[in-house]
């Protein structure tokens, strides 16, 4: 861009890809053509009897050992060199934490701002810390040639730089459960000024407030991946008509009928394992939520009638 000749992850990876792809293509065509030629030239109708018997050819053998060895070493070397680019975060990169959970992404910035999309400034490298709250997810940015597993309990990272403003796909590349396909988001690359504005104020204030919007929160925190709002059974029970209704639960190994009041909802959200709704597996992840967020979620669940 303007100052340093910063090599982007795309610039690092594409030549390696073209080299390996090109070498494979040349070999594929070369071997196929020679094979076809031999099949025709030495067809039984043309050459009914073997005309020569070669026991070996030292030079041929040396060539077909040395050339492929050099070729695969060259592939390794170019791949390794550019892999190091992927693993070496440029100085001054913007730190962002990507939190993956079944089945959503949350991106948080220094200063506490969070967003369901990965906002980044154009021209500035971004270091993404990869955190999983439950199972193995995959952080995949095809446009930037970045793909890295997000493993629970393991510290991992990726970096990239967007050189043009725009919206780029962000996928989860590891099959992580029934709603895996819904685990999509985008990288929103904004010009540096707009990004600074977004981070500081503007949309910032709104988003902070919006955080207490229960519906939005339920989407961002991934609740709606498991809980429907229309009465249909998902991975978990529907939120529709849940409040004040009767729920059959397993608690301490006993089957009970309880009323879904505030206290029950709160416990169900904060300690999912304490009471298990009958007919559902005990797989709800323990969310990490502030008290206000829990209150907003409960208000939201009450509103789904
Ligand atoms: Cu996933």
Residue 74 has pLDDT above 90, yes or no: yes
Residue 212 has pLDDT above 80, yes or no: no
Nearest Cα neighbor of 75 from 18, 148, 158, 27 is 18
- Joined together, the tokens standing for residue 153 give 């309990």
- Joined together, the tokens standing for residue 187 give 């990288």
SS (H, E, C) 204-253: HHHHHHHCCCHHHHHHHCCHHHHCCCCCCCCCCCCCCCCCCCEEEEEECC
Ligand 1 centroid to residue 132 C-alpha, Å:
9
Q: What is the pLDDT of residue 286?
A: 81
Ligand 1 centroid to residue 295 C-alpha, Å:
27
Residue 109 has pLDDT above 70, yes or no: yes
For the segment 273-296, what is each residue's pLDDT rounded down to a tens digit? 888 999 888 888 888 788 888 999
Ligand 1 centroid to residue 100 C-alpha, Å:
7
Nearest Cα neighbor of 187 from 176, 171, 175, 200 is 171
Ligand 1 centroid to residue 175 C-alpha, Å:
6
Return the percentage of the chain with pLDDT > 70, whole number. 94
Ligand 1 centroid to residue 228 C-alpha, Å:
19
Q: What is the pLDDT of residue 6?
A: 65
Domain 94-210 sits in CATH at: 2.60.40.420
Ligand 1 centroid to residue 183 C-alpha, Å:
6
- Joined together, the tokens standing for residue 120 give 């980044």
Query: What DSSP letter does each residue of 134-174 carry, written as one string?
Result: SS-EEEEEGGGTEEEEE-TT--EEEEE--SS-EEEEEEE-S
> Directed axis angle between helix 9-41 and helix 58-87, to 10°?
160
Residue 132, SS3 per DSSP: strand
Ligand 1 centroid to residue 65 C-alpha, Å:
43
The most confident of the ranges 166-175, 264-273, 296-305 is 166-175
Ligand 1 centroid to residue 104 C-alpha, Å:
7
Interval 218-239 mean pLDDT: 87
pLDDT confidence of 148, banded at 50, 70, 90?
very high
Q: What is the pLDDT of residue 304?
A: 87
Interval 200-229 mean pLDDT: 71
Ligand 1 centroid to residue 208 C-alpha, Å:
25
Ligand 1 centroid to residue 9 C-alpha, Å:
23
Ligand 1 centroid to residue 169 C-alpha, Å:
14
Ligand 1 centroid to residue 125 C-alpha, Å:
24
Domain boundaries along the sequence of the chain: 9-47+54-87, 94-210, 214-303
pLDDT confidence of 129, banded at 50, 70, 90?
very high
Ligand 1 centroid to residue 304 C-alpha, Å:
27
Cβ(163)–Cβ(122) below 8 Å: yes
Ligand 1 centroid to residue 156 C-alpha, Å:
15
Ligand 1 centroid to residue 180 C-alpha, Å:
5
Of the candidate ranges 30-44, 211-225, 261-275, the one whose mean pLDDT is the lowest: 211-225
- Joined together, the tokens standing for residue 36 give 């076809």
Ligand 1 centroid to residue 83 C-alpha, Å:
24
Ligand 1 centroid to residue 299 C-alpha, Å:
28
Ligand 1 centroid to residue 170 C-alpha, Å:
11
Nearest Cα neighbor of 124 from 146, 159, 166, 94 is 94
Interval 134-144 mean pLDDT: 94
Cβ(298)–Cβ(263) below 8 Å: no
22: left (phi over 0), alpha (psi -120 to 50) or beta: alpha
Ligand 1 centroid to residue 133 C-alpha, Å:
10
Residue 226 has pLDDT above 90, yes or no: no
pLDDT confidence of 5, banded at 50, 70, 90?
low
Return the CATH class of domain 214-303: mainly alpha
For the segment 164-211, what is each residue's pLDDT rounded down to a tens digit? 999 999 999 999 988 888 889 999 999 999 999 888 864 444 444 444
- For the chain, what is the mean pLDDT? 88
Q: What is the pLDDT of residue 1?
A: 38
């Amino acid at each position: 861009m303007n100052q340093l000749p910063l090599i982007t992850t795309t610039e690092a990876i594409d030549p390696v890809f073209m080299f390996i792809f090109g070498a494979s293509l040349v070999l594929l065509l070369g071997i196929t053509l020679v094979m076809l030629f031999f099949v025709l030239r030495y067809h039984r109708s043309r050459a009914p009897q073997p005309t020569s018997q070669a026991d070996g050819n030292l030079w041929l053998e040396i060539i077909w050992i040395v050339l492929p060895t050099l070729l695969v070493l060259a592939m390794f070397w170019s791949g390794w060199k550019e892999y190091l680019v992927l693993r070496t975060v440029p100085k001054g990169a913007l730190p962002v934490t990507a939190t993956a959970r079944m089945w959503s992404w949350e991106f948080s910035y220094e200063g506490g701002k969070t967003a369901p999309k990965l906002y980044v400034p154009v021209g500035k490298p971004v270091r993404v810390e990869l955190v999983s709250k439950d199972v193995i997810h995959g952080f995949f940015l095809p446009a930037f040639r970045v793909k890295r597993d997000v493993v629970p309990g393991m510290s991992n990272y990726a970096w990239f730089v967007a050189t043009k403003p725009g919206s780029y796909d962000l996928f989860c590349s590891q099959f992580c459960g029934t709603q895996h396909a819904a685990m999509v988001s985008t990288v929103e690359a904004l010009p540096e000024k707009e990004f600074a504005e977004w981070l500081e104020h503007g949309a910032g204030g709104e988003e902070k407030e919006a955080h207490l919007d229960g519906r939005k929160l339920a989407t961002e925190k991934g609740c709606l991946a498991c809980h429907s709002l229309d009465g249909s059974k998902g991975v978990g029970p529907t939120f529709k008509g849940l409040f004040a209704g009767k729920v059959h639960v397993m608690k301490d190994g006993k089957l009970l009928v309880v009323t879904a009041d505030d206290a029950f909802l709160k416990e169900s959200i904060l300690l999912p394992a304490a009471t298990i709704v009958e007919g559902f597996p005990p797989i709800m992840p323990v969310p990490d939520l502030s008290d206000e967020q829990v209150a907003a979620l409960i208000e939201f669940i009450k509103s789904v009638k």
